Every structure is written in C-alpha cells, then in structure tokens.
Structure 1
Amino acid sequence: MQIEVNGKKRLIACRTAFEARAQLGNDTDIVILNGFQIDSDCPLTEKDTLTIIRKGTMPAQDELESMMMARHTPAVHKKLKQGRVAIAGLGGLGSNIAVMLARIGVGQLLLVDFDIVEPSNLNRQSYYIRHLGMTKTLALQSQLVEINPFIQIEIRTIRVEVGNVAELFCGYEILCEAFDKPNAKAMLVNTALEKLPDIKIVAASGMAGFASSNLIKTTRPLKRLYVCGDLENGAGIGSGLMAPRVQICAGHQANMILRLLVGMEEI
C-alpha cells in the first residue's frame, strides 16, 4: 500500500504502524499516525500519514515539517507557516508568547525590545542565568532557534515610540502588545490602530498578583483589537508580576494569535 512516511510517499508491505517502525526505524522511535501519537499498534490503510521520530535527535527540516503537519493537520500547519507576527516587548508576556508561537511553527516572527536581561526578570520571563546582561532580543532569538531552527526570526533592539511604530511593524499581519507600563501599552495600541489600518492587535491588561486565574479572559473591544487579562489587577505594591498569572495571560494572547492566523476572528 502507499502511505506518507515522514513527509514522503512510500510503497510499503507492512500491515501495521509498528511493523513499519520496525522496518524503517527502531523500537524506541515515537510513532504518530494521522496526527496522533500511538502507544499500541494500529493497522495501516491506504493514504495514512505516518511519522516516525527518533528520540534524542533533531530531525531534518522536511521531517520536522511532516511531524508538525501531522500534529496540526496540513491546512492549519500551512496557515501557521505563512503567519507573520510581531511581538513588541519581550518580558514576562512577550518572551513566553514568542516561545509558544515558535513551538507551533509560526513562520515569521519579529522580536522588538530595547532592554537587557537582568536578575529580576528570572521570576517570570523566559530567560536563564546564562542570558544575564544580553539584550532580550538576542537572548530570546537564541532560545527560539533551539526550539525551531526552521522559522524566520527578525530582531530589532530599539525602544518603540510613536514615530517608529509604522516603520517597525509594517508588513506584519498581527501585532502582539506585551509591554509592562500602561502608558506604553496605550501608545502602541492607539498608534497602530491609526497608522496600520490592516494590522490586528492582541494586547494585554491585568495579570498581576495571584488572584484567580479564572478572571483572565480574552475580550474584543474593537474590530481589530483583542485584549487579554482581567482588566483590573495591575502591578503595584503588594501585587507584583508573578509567573503563573503572567503566563496564563501570555497563553491567552498566544492562543488568540493562533486563532487569527487560522482565520478565526471571534474570541
């Protein structure tokens, strides 16, 4: 029968997925059949998609693409691969959002931040001790390359201001606002809405402290603007920014970006 194995059409005589693994790989390889990782053997049928992954090694680009396509379905993976997302601010929100988008294979990312990694960032941001003193753009880029070396990553180590918003983010279909300070958030959102009429904006407001995670939600106050958070709990004395709620909010933003990339504009 003819099936697709690691992105290539192959004629095989095997009747089951594990027989194919024994023929093409070894017993410790991970087997994904039609997008689902299987732990027990399954029969194969004509035109099945089989992905065989060797543990502990980085697959070639076509094999990784096949694996991700199997996980996401071809139509979804194609849309993600064509996606162009800009992330403004690479702190607790932006660094974690970038990691999520790299993991799902968003094809082109723009990372924008002017700051360096310092010790107080380590409580919630996706950085490590080895990154201390590095610019956040370079530190995050190095992490994303280790996660998915086959996506395009552009970095701009610059402070975002009213005068450079249009130049920085022109050409990207989605802008992710991930700043800490309310005035910076408002500046970016208002300027982008005015000067970039085709861009969709996914912003955040209210994720500080340790109030219930169930208060964090995604809203759509304007046609091109989505806001994630509880809209109330800002950082202040006695209510700091901590990893759990910050990352929950980052997850909301990343998931909304995912939904927009696959054509789902409703929240």
Structure 2
Amino acid sequence: MKKIGIAGAGGIGSNVAVHLVRAGVRCLKIVDFDRVELSNLNRQFYFHDQLGRPKAAALAANLRRIVPDAVIETENARLDAERMTTVFADCDLVVEGFDGAAEKKALLEAMSVARIPMVAACGVAGTRLDRIGVRTLGGCTIVGDFATEAAQAPCHGPKVALVAAMMAHIVLERGGYYE
C-alpha cells in the first residue's frame, strides 16, 4: 500500500489529506507540531470542539470519520532539516504544507536527496485565483501564485482550498491512483 506523507497539517496539509482520503488513498503519515486554534477554522479541516488538540491527531480523527479503516500515522513534532528524511523515508510521496519559506526549502532539499517526490505550495494568500499555476522542479511539483505569501496578505479559505485540491489531484496522478 502506498503511503503519502503530509508535512504540516494546516490549511494546505489538512485539505490535501481530506481530498486524498475521499479519493481512495488509505495510508497517510501526518506530521505537525501545532494545535488547533480558533483562527484555523476558516480554512483548515478542523472543528470548534477540537480547539487545543494537536493538529495531527485531530486531522487523523476527522479523516477516520470519512474512512474508518484508513491507516493514518501521526507525529506531534516540529520537523527540522535533519529529521525530515528519516521521518518520511517510508513514504512514496510527501505533501508540503509548511508556513515558512525556510522549512519549505529544507523539506525540498531533504526529499530531493532522498529521491522522494514532493508536491508543494507557494503563494496561497490573498484573493487572486486567476494567478494560480503549476511548476515542476526536479521531483517536486509546486502549486500556487508564486507571489503572495501569508506575510503579505491573509489566507482565505477558497484560495487555500483550490490550491490544496490541485495538489491532491497531482498526488493522485503521480501516485498512479487514477489516470
């Protein structure tokens, strides 16, 4: 069974995960250090009664409500550059859902060295949907507007969801889940 890694369970990671499970992916590894906050609920796959819970565990519970027999590993931890390769070594592909550029770069480098394909996001803030595109860099496919980061504009649910849906579609295509 193919395993997809989810690095970061925020707006991108949580929404990609729900799309993948609904599309038939049954084996995920979700890694995030954060807890569900009220400000997350406008764009992330969490609920009010999960406030304060670790995101990885809360997301796994939500995904199991869709598919009870899904195999979902979770780790409540912050990933540093040294651990990224080992944490995702058993994954066939990794989805990047980090907020910071430094973490994104470190994951891209680690997965490149490990030869694990990756699907990432770049530019999911703001309201402009017409600028969203797809680029490929080696084993990494990147989705977003490549310009508008969260430090520049707020993240809105529709744009985050659109980028996440496109990323999930790429995972499904690259993973051979459908043609």
TM-score tier, shorter chain, comes to over 0.9
1:256 paired residue number = 170
2:151 paired residue number = 236
In structure 2, the residue corresponding to 1:214 is in which secondary structure?
A: coil
In structure 2, the residue corresponding to 1:203 is in which secondary structure?
A: strand
1:18-33 alignment to 2 at 5 Å?
none
List per-residue Cα deviations over 1:150-186 (Å, max 9, x = no partner): 2210001111111111210001110111111111111
1:117-128 alignment to 2 at 5 Å?
117-128=36-47
1:115 paired residue number = 34
Q: 1:123: how far off?
A: 1.5
1:216 paired residue number = 132
Kept in 2, the 8 Å contact 1:105–1:148? The answer is no
- The whole-number CA distance in structure 1 between the counterparts of 2:146 and 2:37 is 27
Give the aligned CA root-mean-square deviation in angstroms. Answer: 1.5
Q: Which runs of 4+ in 1 moved over 6 A?
A: none
1:204 paired residue number = 121
TM-score (norm 1): 0.65
In structure 1, the residue corresponding to 2:154 is in which secondary structure?
A: coil
Kept in 2, the 8 Å contact 1:105–1:151? The answer is no
- The whole-number CA distance in structure 2 between the counterparts of 1:219 and 1:259 is 15
List per-residue Cα deviations over 1:77-116 (Å, max 9, x = no partner): xxxxx32100000000000111111111212100000110
In structure 2, the residue corresponding to 1:109 is in which secondary structure?
A: strand
1:89 is aligned to 2:8: yes
Task: Identify unmatched segments of 5+ residues in structure 1.
Answer: 1-81
Sequence identity percentage: 35
Q: 1:187: how far off?
A: 1.1
Larger radius of gyration: 1
1:190 paired residue number = 109
Letter in 2 for 1:215: R
2:95 paired residue number = 176
TM-score (norm 2): 0.95
Q: 1:264: how far off?
A: 8.2
Q: 2:160 aligns with which of 233, 246, 250?
A: 246
How many pairs align? 179
